[in-house]
Amino acid sequence: GQVLEKLAALRDLIAPAAFNPCFSYGAMPIADAEASLRLFAREVLPVLKGWESEPLAKPTPLATTR
């Protein structure tokens, strides 16, 4: 689908190690927004989970100053 095509283009261009979607529905009725999110979860997420990527680096603790 269209979403997967766009995400695949981003994957090929910048090879992200993580994906943090931010959904915005504006004035869309709640039922339509929920249906859209469920469609994403059903059709897009399973494909994304199958994509290989490098593991995220372990975070480095911040230095504390007192």
Distances (CA, A) of 16 to 22, 30, 62: 16, 31, 24
DSSP state for residue 49 in the 8-state scheme: H
Instruction: Give per-residue pLDDT as tens, 42-56.
Output: 999 999 989 887 777
Residue 65 predicted with pLDDT over 90:
no
Instruction: Determine the pLDDT at residue 37.
Output: 94
Q: 19, 7 in Cβ contact below 8 A?
A: yes
